Structure 1
Amino acid sequence: MFNYKDRLITINNTIFKTEMIIDNIRDFIKEKAAEFGAKIENEHNKSYVERRNIGQEALKDNGAFFGFIHPEEEISGPFHDFSLTIFPNDQNKAWLVCLGIGSNGFKNDYELATYPGLRRLFSKLINERGFCKSDFSDIDTSLPKKITGNDDLQHIKNTIRTYSKVLPVCQIIDNPESEDGKKIIAAFVAGYAKLREWPSNKDHRKAISEALSPFLKKAKIDDVKEIENLLNERKFIVLQGPPGTGKTRTAKMVAKNIGAQIFFTQFHAETSFSDFIYGIRPDVNNKELNYTELLGIFTEAVKYAKEHETEKIVLIIDEINRANLSNVLGPIFYLFEHKMEDSDVEIEIYPGFKISRLPENFNVIATMNTADRSLAVVDFALRRRFAWYTLKPKLIESKDFYKDDFCRIQEIFDWYATSNELSLQPGQGYFLASSDQEMSYRIKHEIFPLIKEYLQEGLVRSSKEEFNNYFQVRINQSLFE
């Protein structure tokens, strides 16, 4: 028999439990905000305005929400700019934690929305049950069906559709009070703290770092081992990356590790076919006009490989994109085809020496500086024939490594640089010095001119004030003098 009283007690207990959970999470995010540097002392010095619509009617209609908005906004009504928003429910179903944008669009945060680092950060905080827009300034595109049509969110589907265009990041959380649930929520609060620039001391920054670290950890990759495996599979590879990432050093280390005979050359703008493959030169020591043959480094390496079939040969071509590759490679370009089958086409390397394929024991490791904007673009035909491996700036273990300077420069690039501009970040080699004085000299005479040149070329321009502040504090020098 239906017992209305028992049913009412069950409903009331459920509502009470839901309200307790919501209050617990509200307290949790405010505690985290304080840890991350948020100020809430008075109306004139606060870091956020708390918004909440968590009454029984809102829960019943599945329109409940709570979170933080820009401190200049009102406590009610439509608002502008980025918010931290959480959508709860009273049905023991999934919650949704989001970085949102007020329905009034942008007032103070539009420029912030264009910073690549903001998207870069929040994209790391979500898993396969989350979503991150490719453009945070976009308030015209709706969420994909992955979210709007998600079975776990059908109880708040109307709410999601209402805010679909202004939720650049969202993550489904099954149990907000679980360890994993709180970890995700804390990370979103930490991300919001970073975009609002709440931290003002070392403790705040440490707390934010600890909240984000589970999501930002990168798997340690042994570049040398990875490149060895790639070389074994592909034979012809290019190591690309910003200056200072150890491309040439790594190429030599890989060749040494596999016990290869090394042939080395460095390309430049005037490198030609006759330098690299074969040419003739006048004999200046002879009174009569005579010419002598000149075997290029490529030909020497190939001949050696054919004559020493049991040895591994590695030809290292440093700065491969500094030369006009079509002119330098000429007909041998054909020979670099990956997994070339036996061919009846013979390429004449020089008079009397023809080959139809490169020796099995012959390998090439080339390097390419991705920050050199004046170099020729490598064409797609060459890209298809070579495998490509990117070396990125990274922390290294060394008593001579100035980690704080490296991390500060990396932080600026990570926040302001586009995906293409990340290839300009100075590598770890720039931050190796035997003394504080030497490091100051390196910053003043190497890193400072490099960054200044980038800015003059219109690159990473949104970061100019951050870089200027860094250099003024570090070496008492302004980028704009």
Structure 2
Amino acid sequence: NDKTSLELVKPFVEAFLSIQDSDTVDTLKDRGFDIDLASLKSMDEGGYNLFGRVVPLFDNKLSLIEYYSIINDLKGEVFELYKLIFETANKLDMNEKSAIQEIQQPITNPLLQEISELLLANKNLILTGAPGTGKTYLAKILAEAWGAEHKLIQFHPSYDYTDFVEGLRPIQNEEGEVGFELRDGVFKSFCKKALKPIEAYNFDEVYERFIDDLSEKSLEFVTPVQKKPFKVEVTNHRNCKATPMYENASSMSVTRNHIQIYFETGKVNGWKPYLIPICDYIENNYNLKLAATLDTDKKFIIILDEINRAEISKVLGELFFSIDPGYRGESGRVTTQYANLQTEEDVFKDGFYIPDNVYIIGTMNDIDRSVESFDFAMRRRFAWKEIKAEDRLSMWEDQIGDWAEEAKQRLITLNSAFEDIQGLSAAYHVGPAYFLKLADYDGDFDKLWTYHLESLLFEYLRGYPDANEQLVILKNAYDLVEADASNDR
């Protein structure tokens, strides 16, 4: 109640404005999503702003194909946008001071140094260990330390090849005709970004000048072969709209991406009769300089959270071969099952491969009984590092204050008690992340046990004939009962 609605939403508005030129937003714009940035920047208390696309109704009903198109949007690009907004807002949140401090000097941490060296040497790394040891957090911190662009994907049992690599998605054109479109999965898109040339040339500047000029007056051209006239105007998204100059003609969109790909690769991705005259005009009337190079030193890290919760062979498909660290780069090209549908301008037209500057970090809790064991052939393609509970006590700094020393004693004693229970091991230890809840309970260890630890440990002991008795032993260890008795003696 100490903030207005506008103050609460402001961090997310600022986050969205800071990523408005990202690939995720551009993809949505190309699919017809629209937003009024001017009104977003000047929102008042009680105001609102919509970001969406118009969906046609037929006989006042939503078609089945449009329904699935909406579902795909929500599952795909829209979800990625919301995730990107929240991730960006979190980065801008100054309350995460402890994380920022660790990011500023991360490699001085011996554990992080070891993880960094393992990843550099092996390209693929899995962080395993007990729940609550901060494995995902460590992966993010390492990416920040490297200055690497990174992406986090959480695997789950229904995650598959079409989500990760590529797959066909239903679409419906403006005439209502139904078809399918090949779309990149998150990993293929990520690998394409790793191969994207650094923009050390002036395309951005030239394109903006061209669009500004085009905003003042439309241009007229003729198609190269048939010599048919058409005019070019600017769309709301600062793309080009080409319209043949005859009655009832349909307009075609020539996007910034179409133009940039043509200048960078010479390949036509879109409406060729309209694209080439527009590009020729830009080249002849603006001082365009092309000097694109690959930034091979920039690293890209993809974090596969809960990697063992998905069926790895189903997710990777043909990439089972390419993921081997010995086959990074073009030597690891594989032909995917959708190879015949690739467009000419696709960088992976001749086969998909994982670029040399792409690194993979997986995280997993190997005590999860809901998943099968990790594939042995895949195991040898990764280096493995166990993150132990006692290695991560540093996460308590500036978090639980005066309770840290007692929390350390309770954690160590509790985890030691697991050694006396047959069938349990260090993989079942309680991670220090659980004790961060002490800040919410004003240091009440009993509440931490009752609301968080007891149910976890009971799940560990499920199926044991003496589960209740063993749980009492663990509770006594947590309460330091034996230690106190020893001190009395």
- So what's the TM-score if we normalise by structure 1? 0.48
User: Is the strand fraction higher in 1 or 2?
Assistant: 1
Structure with the bigger RCO (C-alpha within 8 Å, sep 6+) is: 2
